[in-house]
Amino acid sequence: MSFTKLLLIWPGSPVLSMLIWIVVMVVLLYLARTPAHKAIHSLARVIHNGFRLMSRSVMLAEEKLAQRNKEVTLSAGIESVERLIEREFHRVDAVVKRDLSGYPTLHRALSDQTTKIDEDYRESSETPPPPSWVGAVEAVANLPSQGDGTVANILNEIHKTTVSQYKTAMDEHRKAVAERHNLLKKMMPYWRRMAQTLEQVGKTITGLHERARVIDNRMTEYEEIREQTDKAARMLTASSLTQFFISGFVLLIAIGGAVINFNLIALPMSEMVGGGSYIGGFKTANVAALVIILVEVAMGLYLMESLRVTRLFPIIGQMDDKMRTRMIWITFSILFVLASVEAALAFMRDQIAADMQALRQSLAAVEATGAAVNSWIPTVGQMVMGFVLPFALTFVAIPLESFVQSSRTVLGVIAVAVLRWLSFFLRLLGNVSHYCGELLVNIYDLFIFPPLWVENLIRDKKHPTEIIIEEEV
């Protein structure tokens, strides 16, 4: 007997059999209404509580990660500010050693110049003008002789003597004034030297004052970071984001330079290592060119670390000065040799390109054109690029350090944002599951609405007074 015949309750009438089965199913669903509602509510509650617990766990992880990010950011900020303060103190120390270390000599020079100026000033004191003899000479000349020739001669001699003395006194006064002016003129270089010395001292003091003000600002920032204030954390986070994008942009430029450098030496490397050999799925010439570029970048990193420009490898910065100086010369020599090799490879590239062009023309039976005018210009340009690009890639260490240091903060911020959105999504799913349980209960009652309608009708007839009271309330 087939399954269809088993479901056929009324023989010859499948529609009536289906209606009977529907009535039976509705009655069974009505009888199981209470346990079904409990099961649906329990399932919805379990899912809702599970999502809420997951959301709570994610929120706790987000809080811990945010606290950890704050600690890391503040620690990096403290280290950065300490480096800036240390650099400012080194500058102050250099200014003090360069300028103020010679202060005793400067003080002695100023004292000597002051003494010399004082002596010259004393010697250049103003000479009193000659006595006013003009009135006396006129008075003597106007004395009456009363007709006596002897008296007239005496008065005439007196007048001549007075005039002669007056001229002598005026000449001596003019000479004294000229000597005074000469002494004052000799004082001018001393005044200028003193003015220049004082101006130099003033510039030094002004520079120290500016450095002190910068150090005060850095110390204020350092204190805020040590207090772990939210303002300092936000400021450092914003600074890290700025450094991340700027250093990332500079690294993209450096990658572009590395690509140009790679294309510059890849072709001539095939003449050195063979153009038909492969390492895996890559040409050996391309791998060798890439290795040379990577070695140049590594040497640039070591050189910057030895110069203490960057601090990616603390062990290099902790070396003594003698060993660090040796490492500087070694890395610079290797970098110089590699740059020279690249310049030679760039020269070979131009020759290889010219030979390949001539070969193509001969195979195509095209008459070779004459050499272009100034054909040495691209050759020289390629050689200069091949020599300069390795040294340019040396400075990749600076944006690389900034990118590495700021990426920790940026990745932490992104992780916190992802956890926050995940917590929100889990909470949303929990609420959705709760209301889905209510929806399933309503849908369940919708399938069994005939018996529910009958039940409500009977209840209304049995308890009409309670219904009226409920409506009034």
Instruction: Tell me if 133 sits within 8 A of 159, measured CB to CB.
Output: no
Q: Of 169-173, 200-204, 353-357, 365-369, which range is least confident?
A: 365-369
Cα–Cα dist 89/82, whole Å: 10
User: Which residue type, as a one-letter code, is found at position 348?
Assistant: M
Statement: residue 218 has pLDDT above 90 = no
Q: How crowded is the C-beta side of 173, counted as CA atoms within 13 Å?
A: 11
Q: Which of 117-131, 199-213, 278-292, 424-438 has the highest mean pLDDT?
A: 424-438
Helix (H), strand (E), coil (C) string for the chain: CCHHHHHCCCCCCHHHHHHHHHHHHHHHHHHCHHHHHHHHHHHHHHHHHHHHHHHHHHHHHHHHHHHHHHHHHHHHHHHHHHHHHHHHHHHHHHHHHHCHHHHHHHHHHHHHHHHHHHHHHHHCCCCCCCCCCHHHHHHHHCCCCCCCHHHHHHHHHHHHHHHHHHHHHHHHHHHHHHHHHHHHHHHHHHHHHHHHHHHHHHHHHHHHHHHHHHHHHHHHHHHHHHCCCHHHHHHHHHHHHHHHHHHHHHHHHHHHHHHHHHHHHHHHHHHHHCCCCEECCEEHHHHHHHHHHHHHHHHHHHHHHHCCCCCCCHHHHCCCHHHHHHHHHHHHHHHHHHHHHHHHHHHHHHHHHHHHHHHHHHHCCCCCCCCCCCCHHHHHHHHHHHHHHHHHHHCCHHHHHHHHHHHHHHHHHHHHHHHHHHHHHHHHHHHHHHHHHHHHHHHHHHHCHHHHHHHHHHHHHHCHHHHHHHHHC
Token digits for 228? 């772990």
Q: What is the pLDDT of residue 159?
A: 63
For the stretch 390-439, pLDDT in tens is: 898 889 888 998 898 888 888 888 998 999 999 999 999 989 988 888 88
Q: What is the pLDDT of residue 331?
A: 92
Instruction: Tell me if 262 sits within 8 A of 289, measured CB to CB.
Output: yes
Token digits for 74? 């503040």
Cβ neighbours for 438, distance < 8 A, ≥ 6 positions apart? 44
Q: What is the pLDDT of residue 252?
A: 93
Instruction: Identify the band that residue 1 occupies on the pLDDT scale cut at 50, 70 and 90.
Output: very low
210 vs 146, residue with greater confidence: 210
The residue-averaged pLDDT of 77-82 equals 77
Q: Of 17-26, 45-54, 245-254, which range is least confident?
A: 17-26
Query: Where are the chain's structural domains?
Result: 7-87+419-472, 99-226, 235-364+375-395
Token digits for 255? 């990658």
The residue-averaged pLDDT of 227-233 equals 76
The residue-averaged pLDDT of 161-165 equals 69
Token digits for 102? 């010679």
Statement: residue 60 has pLDDT above 80 = yes
92 vs 314, residue with greater confidence: 314
Largest pairwise CA distance in the chain: 194
Instruction: Tell me if 317 sits within 8 A of 305, measured CB to CB.
Output: yes
